[in-house]
Structure 1
Amino acid sequence: MFGLFAKSRPFKIRSLEDNKKYGVAAKDVKELLKKGCKLLKVPPLGAHVCLYADGTEVTEKYFATLPDNTELVLLRKQQAWGGAVCDIAHLLGSDQYAMGLIEAAKGLLHDEKSAKRRKILTDLLHNLEDRSELESRVEDKEWFIGVEARFKTKSAYLKSNCENRIRSYMKDLDEATKAVQKTKVREECVQASKSLSHMLKCDKYNGCYFDRSSKEKDRICTKEGWFTCQGSFDQPKCAWLHSINPYSSRESRIMFSTWNLDHRIEKKRTIVPALMDALQNHKSEDINLTYFYRLLFTCDNLKLVHIVCHKKEAHNLQCEPKKIFKADNRKHHSKKIRLK
């Protein structure tokens, strides 16, 4: 009875396949579907209407509560709409809209006063104005500003950056070795340090981790150069979904330097002391140096983390005593290694 006297009201409707919106006047859902299907050439059987904003299906009862000019999506049978976020995903996933998004974001950013929205727009622009497909110094001169002339490609620079980070992990071991008072023990520590350094050199200081041109199994980035934060030492993944592509721009390259390769089992507090303790009464040849190498220099124990996810508190994780000595010598070393 209510529908007989209801006045037609204006709505904006579009299909799932087309972003173009059309004005439609209807007094109920039945009329809206009839007009919408004819206008958008959608088969009437199974057709239904949802709110563009959040995907809520429009029933007759809900229709009466909608304000004029509500944006709607007309769906075919078995089609679904998850809300405006679907449009965002569609836009970001297609290069054809990139320039339009850049211009729109710049325009909005110019007058935007909300700090949160400014941050969102800035991050959007930062990621859209991407030159990661360019690799050489000749192609992207701006990226190489401040980078030594010997580096001709982005991959070469980031590989070297990774090598320097991992090479620096030897410093704590060298300092601990110098502090050893007993000559014989210090000699064993020096020998262990040399062996680890040789292993590291053979693996080219694991610079492949940051090199997008390396094999997929060796690098920790995508072939395009994207790195994802692996979360703090005590978490399985990053709750903030931090990601960065240092290959995309000079700013990203500089920002990436604040990301850390964090030791889950700590280098200075745990790994080095455990090795030093093991060498107090045993020769370096009896020590499972491969185990210590993996803890110090590989992704078996390293996690790439955004500075926000880098917790500097004590990790309270220990080396595994059963792995400290070589398997064939373990039976001769029943003495427990105490970790400080």
Structure 2
Amino acid sequence: MKTGYKVTDVKRAKKIGVAAENLSELIEKSRKKLGFNVSAECRLYVAEDGTQVDDDEYLNTLPPQTLFILLLNSEKMVTDFDHYYSMILTHKKDYIDTGKAAKEFLSENLSEKFKVFQRYISAANDAKTMLSERTQDPEWFAGLEPSEKTKEQSMSKRVKERMRGYYYKTKSALQSSEMYVRSNNARGKKLIDQFLLDLRKILETNKYNAGYFNRKDKVVRICDENGSFQCGGLWNKSKCSYEDHVINPYRSREERIIFQTWNLDHKIELSRSITPNILKAIERLANGQVKCISCERDSTQGFIETDRYYLQIFTRENLKLVHIVCHHKGKHEAQSNLYTVCGKCYSGQSIEY
């Protein structure tokens, strides 16, 4: 009976799935899928700890979906820990890719791996924390664009990147929906395009909420005046249960990169609740079946309250900053709603941000 595994090369550039009954078959299939020379001599290692898999007996003790590294005989094995920790220390990849790699690395055996990073964070030097200019602390800016002149500017840019990500995720979901791609539903397509246009205008008007990570923005910042962030805890909790879920990305380059593993978690989930309800609301409008959220009357015409969905997708009304340990990826019980209003109750974008 075949078992499914995951295999990559020493550079972690490509990850493949392979189903195999034994070690020989696993190596052979992996070699072909990864584009190795078919006659090349290869060795197989467990990615996490670097243990070589040299017989079927040991392979059979490993669980399905174990990640392996396939090496040529001329290549040296580098464990997951060494690979990703080196990436963080040397910053060989760009900022976002490093953050994604760190997230992937921390997804297994999290408690032990987190202890390593926590010790590193605890040992950081506070001497340069309050420095802001690139000229004052050039090491902090290693790997960032030359246009980023201050730490605050750089951290604001990171928020914008996350907010753009939420927008394009929403856009992709709506434009790939059946309502949008159906050729006989021109009104539904038009309503989706208008909703996305309105949503982006609100986001741009509020400057992508860039102040959330900017320690000098006293009005909306999530951190304190020194740039220290505290975990908000699980989506359904009022605070974090861990005292050590604290980080200051302004302190060092390494801490700035590790900060990428922290999430802005949607309490009401974007993909499971918000986007489906946006589609339902737009479908109601397209079909002339409007249920007014204000007066609760039924109507054949109305509007979608884009601003309410904006609050749920992009603002702290529905977002909390959390350490990766407190980022619950299972289904959240909190639900969005169908925010449609009749013509009498509609007053444009009325919510203050």
Q: Is the structural similarity TM-score above 0.5?
A: yes
| TM-aligned CA deviation for residue 132 of structure 1 | 1.1
Which gives a bigger RCO, structure 1 or 2 (Cα 8 Å, sep 6+)? 2
* Cross-structure match for 2:37: none
- Deviation of residue 239 (structure 1)? 0.4
Q: CA deviation at 1:173?
A: 2.1
Structural mapping, 1:291-302, within 5 Å: 291-302=308-319
Provide the TM-score with structure 1 as the length reference: 0.58
Deviations along 1:201-259, whole A, 9 cap, x unmatched? 01010011001111x22111111101111011121111013111100000110000111
Query: How far apart in 1 are the matches of 2:114 and 2:201?
Result: 50
1:306 aligns with 2:303: no
Q: Which runs of 5+ in 1 are unaligned?
A: 1-114, 332-340
Q: What residue in structure 1 maps to residue 123 of structure 2?
A: 125
| C-alpha separation in 1, matches of 2:198 and 2:249 | 33
> What corresponds to 1:154 in structure 2?
151
- Structure 1 match to 2:254: 251
Q: Distance in 1 between matches of 2:260 and 2:114?
A: 25
Residues 279/121 of structure 1: CA separation in 2 closer, same or farther (3 Å cut): closer
Q: Which amino acid in the other structure matches residue 162 of structure 2?
A: R
SS in 2 for 1:281: helix
CA RMSD between the two structures: 2.5
Partner amino acid, structure 2, of 1:293:
Y
Q: CA deviation at 1:125?
A: 1.9
- For 1:205, which of 194, 204, 208 is the aligned residue? 208
Amino acid paired to 2:133: S
**Partner amino acid, structure 1, of 2:232:** Q
Do the aligned partners of 2:231 and 2:246 also contact (CA within 8 Å) in 1? yes
Tell me, what secondary structure is at the counterpart of 2:275? helix
Paired with 1:309 and 1:163, the residues of 2 have a C-alpha distance of 23
Give the C-alpha shift of residue 285 in structure 1: 6.1
Q: Which has the larger radius of gyration?
A: 1
Counterpart position of 1:170? 167
Per the alignment, do residues 130 and 320 of structure 1 end up closer, same or farther by CA in structure 2, a change over 3 Å counting? farther
Note if 1:325 corresponds to 2:340. Answer: yes
Map 1:24-173; keep pairs closer than 5 Å: 122-126=120-124, 128-173=125-170
Alignment match of 2:333 (pick from 310, 316, 319): 316
CA–CA distance in 2 between the matches of 1:221 and 1:286?
Answer: 37
Q: Give the partner amino acid of 1:224.
A: N
1:226 aligns with 2:228: yes
Residue 200 of structure 1: SS of its match in structure 2? helix
User: Are residue 290 (structure 1) and residue 304 (structure 2) matched?
Assistant: no
The gaps in structure 2 that reach 5 residues or longer are: 1-112, 287-300, 347-353
Shift of 1:326: 3.3
Evaluate the alpha carbon distance shift between residue 271 and residue 116 of structure 1 in structure 2; reply closer, same or farther with a 3 A threshold: closer
Residues matched between the structures, number? 213
Which whole-Å CA distance do the structure 2 matches of 1:220 and 1:116 have between them? 23
1:62-103 C-alpha deviation (Å, 9 max, x unpaired): xxxxxxxxxxxxxxxxxxxxxxxxxxxxxxxxxxxxxxxxxx
